[in-house]
Amino acid sequence: MIFLMDLQMMLLDVLYYILRNSLRAVLRPRTKPVDGELVLITGAGGGLGQLFAQEFSKHGAEVVLWDTNTASNERTATLVREMGGKAHTYTVDVTSRQEVYRTAEMVRDDLGRDVTILVNNAGVVAGKRMLDCPDELIERTMKVNCHALFWTVKAFLPQMKANNHGHIVTVASVLGLFSTPCVEDYCASKFAAVGFHESMAHELLAEEVDGVKTTLVCPYIVDTGMFKGCKIRDEVEMILPPLDPQYCVEQAMNAILIDQPLVCIPRLTYLPFLSRALLPWESNVVTYRFMGSDKCMYPFIDTMKNREAPLPITAE
């Protein structure tokens, strides 16, 4: 009897949340203020990280910038300060848990306060076919895109939970929801990032830590140069072009400010995510071929062959 009552309540709750989120898609809910919050952004030296720093500053937040590239990190800080914002820079290799923990303590000591919003944005890709890719590059992708999430969250989540206040943002990718050929390292790391984030979010809810919010950001390919050369079918690219970085960050910010748990950018990318789950494997293969997604990374791999220097650990 109790089981049937719980089942009925669960179904009613499911219906309620479907209706509520349908309305939220049409009627934008009230945004939360982030002025005065201390926001830490990894991979802040360029790409999306730099834009996140500027967007949070526009909303009155104080930003802490982490990147391995000191010069590019300082450029981001300069842009923030020119806007009238407050920025603090630290040169950090997020793949080193000791360095992450040590720098996290340094941030607390230097600023005398806890980080309240963590934006895990750092990301890399090897840019080589799996069988041609040196093992150390594969390991590097996993360390930056996945393992680093554990170290940064372990460094800052305890204080958020203690204060019952905070927000953890994971910048993953639509390639963490569905895959594409020739970037096995990247897809594996982003699938792992999605799994990590969702498990952490469920844990917070199970512990009834209602003041710590989470947002998983899954953008399509962003025009930052990270996947330069990637090419799908021309007719499809007309309706699904690479994302403008500013648009991507603005959409992500919209989701963060309304405590939206998941945002795929653009919304059209929810469709392949659903088709992967609902359609037979062969149906998805046919769709990939039609869109040109089965070989879209070939020109990207060729472009990467011409790059002599390794990619920095920076923004998506």
CATH number, domain with residue 309: 3.40.50.720
- pLDDT above 70: percentage of residues in the chain: 96
What percent of the chain lies above the pLDDT cut of 90? 73
Instruction: Indicate the pLDDT class of residue 14, thresholds 50, 70 and 90.
Output: confident
> Over the stretch 228-254, which tens digit does the pLDDT of each residue have?
889 889 998 999 999 999 999 999 999
68-97 average pLDDT score: 97
Taking the C-alpha atoms of residue 96 and residue 174, their distance in angstroms, rounded to an integer, is 26
Does residue 67 lie in a domain region?
Answer: yes
pLDDT tens digits, one per residue of 147-198: 999 999 999 999 999 999 999 999 999 999 999 999 999 999 999 999 999 9
pLDDT higher than threshold 60 for residue 306: yes
CA atoms within 13 A on the CB side of 77: 17
Burial of 156 (0-12, 13-18, 19+ CB in 10 A): buried
Burial of residue 22, with CB atoms counted within 10 A of its CB: 0-12 exposed, 13-18 middle, 19 or more buried: exposed
**Residue (of 94, 61, 59, 63) closest to 76 by Cα position:** 63
The residue with greater pLDDT, 141 or 277, is 141
* Cβ pair 273, 264 in contact under 8 A: yes
Residue 118 resides in a domain: yes
Q: Which of 90, 186, 220, 288 is catalytic?
A: 186
Question: What is the rounded distance in angstroms from the CA atom of residue 46 to the CA atom of residue 52?
Answer: 10
Q: Is residue 156 part of a domain?
A: yes
Whether 46 is in a domain gets the answer yes
Please state the separation of Cα 26 from the chain's center in Å: 24
Q: What is the mean pLDDT of the chain?
A: 92
What pLDDT, in 10s, does the model give residues 36-58?
999 999 999 989 999 999 999 99
The pLDDT value recorded for residue 225 is 87
1 has pLDDT over 80: no
Structural domain harbouring 301: 31-315
18 or 224: whose pLDDT is higher? 224
Q: Is residue 85 predicted with pLDDT exceeding 80?
A: yes
For residue 186, indicate whether it is catalytic. yes
On whether residue 22 sits in a domain, the answer given is no
**At residue 23, does pLDDT exceed 70?**
yes
Asked whether residue 45 is domain-assigned, the answer is yes
Q: What is the pLDDT of residue 25?
A: 67
Burial pattern 75-84, b for ≥16 Cβ within 10 A else e, equals bbbebbeeee
Quote the CA–CA distance of 20 and 249 in Å, as a whole number.
25
Residue 156 pLDDT: 98
- pLDDT of 314 reads 47
Question: Within 10 A of 177 (CB to CB), how many other CB atoms are there?
Answer: 22
User: Stretch 90-118: mean pLDDT, rounded?
Assistant: 97
Name 179's Cβ contacts closer than 8 Å, sequence gap at least 6: 187, 191
Indicate if the pLDDT at residue 267 is higher than 60: yes
Q: How far apart are CA 219 and CA 254, in angstroms?
A: 13
Strand duo 122-123 + 314-315: pairing: antiparallel
Mean pLDDT in residue range 140-144:
98
Tally of structural domains, the chain: 1
Residue 13 lies in a domain: no
Where residue 55 falls (left for φ over 0; alpha for ψ -120 to 50; beta otherwise) is alpha
Specify if 91 maps to a domain.
yes
Q: Which of the residue ranges 82-86, 136-140, 214-218, 312-316 would you say has the lowest mean pLDDT? A: 312-316
Question: Would you say residue 315 has pLDDT above 60?
Answer: no
Q: What 3-state DSSP class applies to 167?
A: strand
Q: Rounded to whole angstroms, how far apart are CA atoms 302 and 209?
A: 47
Measured CA to CA, the distance from residue 80 to residue 50 in angstroms comes to 9
Q: Which two tokens stand for residue 121?
A: 């944005």
Give the model's pLDDT for residue 164: 97
